[in-house]
Structure 1
Amino acid sequence: MQTARAYWLETMDRIARPVLEALSQGRLRERMPVRGKLPREDRAQYTYLEAFGRTMTGLAPWLELEGLTGEEARLQGAYRRMALAALHQAVTPGAPDEMNFSHGHQPIVDAAFLAHALLRAPHALLEALPAQDRAHLLDKLRATRTRKPPVCNWLLFSAMIEALLYRAGAPDWDPMRVDLAVRLHFDWYKGDGFFGDGPAFHMDYYNSYVIQPMLIDVLRTVAGEDAEWRAMLERAQTYGAHHATFLEHLIMPDGGYPVLGRSSAYRFGCFQMLAQAALQDLLEEGIAPAQARCALTQAIRRVMAFDNFDADGFLEIGVCGRQPDMGEEYISTGSLYLCMAVFLPLGLPPAHPFWSAPDADWTMKRMWRGDPMRCEHAL
């Protein structure tokens, strides 16, 4: 019988390989379609960096993991090589797949997802890059500073880019971009593990797509520089753990979950904060690691039961198969790869309880079976 980890690896490989294989060969523009509601020439400026940054942000913890053996170690080695070759193609001036970091606002978003990947795999990616590729990468990230992000979750994209520059030892990293983003987000905290997306609350998954994973990892990176940031990190991790509990409660016995708000075509990427809480051992007391594994596995299986890929293996817009009308105007093929964020726990070793503990039923499976349950409390 296939283990949960083997199923996750198989699914991750099926989603990520068409992107990284093509990009590592300098053929992503040639191979990946550009689907969406806006004209192709508009989204073609951005969709390739979207696909790359978002694929990498979910893949990175597994690339960073040491001590694997056997077939998984061989697969990891192949992906490490593809990832470094893809980075070379993405940042090298004049390369066939050189990516746009300089024009339009969308690259601020996906430069941040790529930066997040590098923070999640500093040894396997950032420190493994040849010196010239590293210099080109940092220059590309700096190029995003010429545009002003909207005053909402986008401030965390700028902060994430600066956090990566800090981690890379760049003397020109900007602490003000970091400080503004984190302070405003704490001003926008609404309670019970939810932040506003800007001053207003939005009933969607952006607390998990962006806000809480990035807030925690930005603060983890720079906390040593400032006592206030260290205190903010403690609060952010408490809020993130509670939000992860909320996400676990949304997964129904069959793996279905509420499709709410914008960007639903990111599919199970909506569970990023639950996946990150498992990766970073932040799960609240009532959520056992094996319980989170079983819940996430069932959600992945529920989505993957549909035909979500085109004939060349690239994702189609939708949640349950091809549903092109579910994509907002800013959604294109590359956007969809934020679904990769669900695979963060592959960065835990196979012996970790998340993978090794016996199967455990998740909250809604026990609830709708009529098991004895405890009442819930606000944070």
Structure 2
Amino acid sequence: MNHVETINGTSRKELVDLLEKLVEPLITHFDREGPGLKFDTGGTHYSETTRQIEALFRPLWGIVPLLAGGTEYKGLERYIARLKEGINPEHPHYFGETHHYDQRLVEMAVIGLALCICGEKWLGFFNEKEQKQLHAWLNQINDRDIPKNNWIFFRILVNHGFRLNGFTYNEDMLKNDLEMVHSFYRSEGWYVDGYPDQIDYYVPFAIHFYGLVYAKTAGENDHHARIFVERSKEFAQSFACFFDGYGAAVPFGRSMTYRFAQVAFFSAAIFAEIEVLPYSEMKWLVVEHLKHWMKQSIYSHDGLLTVGYYYRNHVFTEGYNAFGSPYWALKTFLLLGLPEEHPFWSISEKAPDLPSKKLITPARFIVTRDQKNRQVQLYTAGLHCEPHTHCDAKYEKFVYSSVFGFSVSKGQLNLRQGAFDNTLAVSLDPERYYKMRYEKSDYQVTEDYLLTNWNPYEGVKIRSIIVPFTPFHFRIHMIETDKTIYLADGSFALGFDVDGANIQKKIMTESNQIKVMSDEHQVGVIDFSHHSELEFVFGEPNSNIMKDQTFIPTAKDKVEKGKHLLIHGFYGSFIDDAILESHCYIEENEIILSVGQEKVSIPKQLLNLEKQHTA
């Protein structure tokens, strides 16, 4: 049961009310002993003390913009009092001396935000001695090693905030950090998150977000600010495609427990007063996205945000996801930094007109949407992330969906534990130890298809060619193996409630295809090879980030030593969507694929595993 009502309008007051409802349940936990807040359990790669500090700092991502926009949250004095204790080296609740790569360095960023966007108001809560203590504790970030990724912006915000408020800051560090961020840039507004093959939501809700905060608060002639603005305008043209007509974004990559931070980029653009899209369209994206999330089961019984995605779920989360981590979602409320009288609040919202297919070359994506704009599908190739939890499932599946989400493995002993939706799983044993693609593979992305070469085992080469016809897509797998292997090509994962009788009524099986239906959706697989074994795999409970019970229609094959060609078709759609007739014709020089009136030709030379295809 949700404990926060959805929003109906688009006024600043209604968003303020929503924010206050989200943070209000935290107030009762200030009465407990400790340096921060403690309201749940669960381990992380950092200490319990740091988990409490994180839980104290994260809500400030919404509360600070509220203050900047002229509204002081009534519970702010509780946060300030706890902060004053934490920055005082003589107090038992001192936040402590940090070390290299310390999680506490991450949490400093929101104080940097406060110094940047409402420094005078913020510092007004601290006397001269306390301001010196605040500066001293934050300044540790200049003497610590941090990852060369989005973390660089935490130090930028702190030093920029120092500079704006007359504190001593590390000028050389600030200059070098800004240049490092620029080194992450690729093209069309897209960055990598520090590592060459890691592209995910940290591009919008971290790198661009912080860049827009910097641009808003830097001087008019600051060339870094101009660069951040220009890139954000270009980025918005493709990133808007990640949202479907209900305001839902495609879940993909790590840190999905931050939930509605997915749309925080547009909040940052609104706050920075930069029309990366028309204000009316950005307003629609932010408001509809929040409406969508307020309908999900994301709260505990007492109204606190939980760790998970559509429901409380620790299975898929990262080692840095503590009980307070989900409050990073409050970054979406940065637009409250605009005061009540700002003309933005009187603008009517309008849904953006987005293309049915968008090739995003620098990000290695094809983003598609169905005709009724009810589902967005994200096709990927050549991405790789390490060493976080379930990176194979979060980055290297063939397609991700705003409706069906994705699943992560709870074990490798069988296909049920593996929950291999939208991927090809490979095993040397027909009964256990399946694994999916997880490697730095060469790839090619075009308007019509995505191609990757990968090697799950020594002596096994696979070339996978994915051809989108959303909500349908083809997968062509060319396999060369020196041993017998077992394959499982999984479709979308369909959520359902456990009821054996009703499930049987909603399963359909034909000679070369199977599908399963719920009251709203349908998913299925078609075997164009005409020799695959089709099976409904019951995904291990809680393996999917959207639904706690799932069916995954799967095509299974035993492949002997030699070369083999497999062609399967998959779909995941709404129950009232007609599944158009699909065909696959293998000609002398090409493979012709069609769905309805759409047709794509794949040259047969692409099946030659000896020829490399790289970006």
Is TM > 0.5 for Structure 1 vs Structure 2? yes
- The C-alpha deviation readout for 1:93-140, integer Å capped at 9, x for no partner, is 455654345245111111123212332221321244222221211111
Task: Report the AA paired with residue 334 of structure 1.
Answer: G
Distance 1:290 1:350 in 2: 17
Structure 2 residue 63 is matched with structure 1 residue 63: no
- Choose the corresponding residue for 1:309, options 271, 290, 299: 299
* SS class of match (1:45): helix
Percent of matched pairs sharing the same residue? 19
Structure 2 residue aligned with 1:338: 328
Q: How big is each residue's C-alpha offset from its partner over 1:255-293, in whole Å with a ceiling of 9 and x where there is no partner?
A: 211011111111111222211101111123xx2223222
**Cα 1:86/1:241, change in 2 over 3 Å:** farther
Q: What secondary structure sits across from 1:258 in the alignment?
A: coil
Instruction: Show the counterpart of 1:143.
Output: 140
Aligned residue runs from structure 1 range 1-379, under 5 A: 2-5=8-11, 6-19=13-26, 22-23=29-30, 27=33, 32-38=38-44, 42-66=46-70, 76=72, 78-95=74-91, 97-100=93-96, 102-103=98-99, 105-171=102-168, 173-218=169-214, 221=217, 223=219, 230-284=222-276, 287-364=277-354, 368=371
CA contact (8 A) 2:38 2:55 kept: no
Letter in 2 for 1:167: L
TM-score between the two structures when normalised by the length of structure 1: 0.82
CA distance in 2, matches of 1:126, 1:290: 34
Distance (Å, rounded) in 2 between the aligned partners of 1:295 and 1:55: 22
Which whole-Å CA distance do the structure 2 matches of 1:30 and 1:82 have between them?
A: 11
For the 8 Å contact 1:266–1:338, the answer to whether it is kept is: yes
1:166-225 deviation line (CA, Å, top 9, x unaligned): 223223x1112111111122122101111122251423111123212223434655557x
Moved more, 127-136 or 211-220: 211-220
Structure 1 window deviating more from structure 2 (293-302 vs 236-245): it is 236-245
The 1:134–1:264 alpha-carbon spacing in structure 2 relative to 1, beyond 3 Å, is same
Structure 1 residues 307, 369: CA separation in 2 closer, same or farther (over 3 Å shift)? Answer: closer
* Inter-partner Cα distance in structure 1 for 2:91 and 2:74: 22
Structure of higher RCO (CA pairs closer than 8 Å, 6+ residues apart)? 1
Task: Report the AA paired with residue 39 of structure 2.
Answer: P
SS of the counterpart of 2:315? helix
**Alignment check: 8 A CA contact 1:209 1:272 kept:** yes
1:363 alignment partner AA: D
Any idea what SS the aligned residue of 1:320 has?
coil
Partner of residue 377, structure 1: none
- Residue type at the aligned position of 1:280: A
Q: CA deviation at 1:307?
A: 2.5
- Structure-2 separation of matches of 1:30 and 1:80: 14
Q: Name the one with the larger helix percent.
A: 1
C-alpha contact (below 8 Å) 1:196/1:202 kept by paired residues: yes
Counterpart CA distance in 2 for 1:359 and 1:256 is 16
Give the conservation status (yes or no) of the 8 Å contact 1:303–1:319: no
Amino acid at match of 2:312: R
Show the counterpart of 1:69: none
In the alignment, the residues of structure 2 paired with residue 238 and residue 12 of structure 1 have an alpha-carbon distance, to the nearest angstrom, of: 30
167 and 83 in structure 1: CA distance in 2 versus 1, 3 angstrom threshold: farther
Higher alpha-carbon deviation: 244-253 or 206-215 = 244-253
Report the CA distance between 1:61 and its aligned residue.
2.1
1:320 CA displacement? 0.9
- Secondary structure of 1:306's counterpart equals coil
Residues 50, 337 of structure 1: 8 Å contact kept: no
Q: Distance in 2 between matches of 1:167 and 1:333?
A: 33
Counterpart Cα distance in 1 of 2:205 and 2:28: 25
Please state how far the C-alpha of 1:35 moved relative to its aligned partner: 3.8
Structure 1 position 248, deviation (Å): 3.1
Q: What secondary structure sits across from 2:186 in the alignment?
A: strand
Larger Rg computed on CA atoms: 2
Q: Aligned partners of 2:32 and 2:91: how far apart in 1?
A: 7
Q: Which has the higher strand share?
A: 2
State the shift of 1:339 in Å: 0.1
CA gap 1:298/1:35 in 2 versus in 1, 3 angstroms = farther
The 8 Å contact of residues 58 and 343 in structure 1, kept in 2 or not, is answered as: yes
Identify which range, 193-202 or 135-144, moves more after superposition: 193-202
Secondary structure of the 1:78 match is coil
1:198/1:255 Cα in 2 relative to 1: closer, same or farther (>3 Å)? same
Alpha-carbon distance between aligned partners in 2 of 1:203 and 1:134, rounded to the nearest angstrom: 38
Q: 8 Å contact 2:63–2:73 — kept in the other structure?
A: no
- The verdict on how the C-alpha distance between 1:219 and 1:301 changes in structure 2, with shifts beyond 3 A counting, is closer
Native 8 Å contact 1:290 1:357 kept in 2: yes
Secondary structure, aligned partner of 1:255: coil
**Which amino acid in structure 1 is aligned with residue 44 of structure 2?**
L
Instruction: Give CA-to-partner distance per residue, 1:21-68, whole Å, 9 cap, x none.
Output: 644x675668623444537xx4413223323333213322221223xx
Instruction: Tell me whether 335-344 or 350-359 shows the greater mean CA deviation.
Output: 350-359
Whether contact under 8 Å (1:166, 1:222) holds in the other structure is no
What do residues 214-246 of structure 1 show as CA deviations (whole Å, max 9, x unaligned)? 23434655557xx6xx22211111112333444
SS in 1 for 2:74: helix
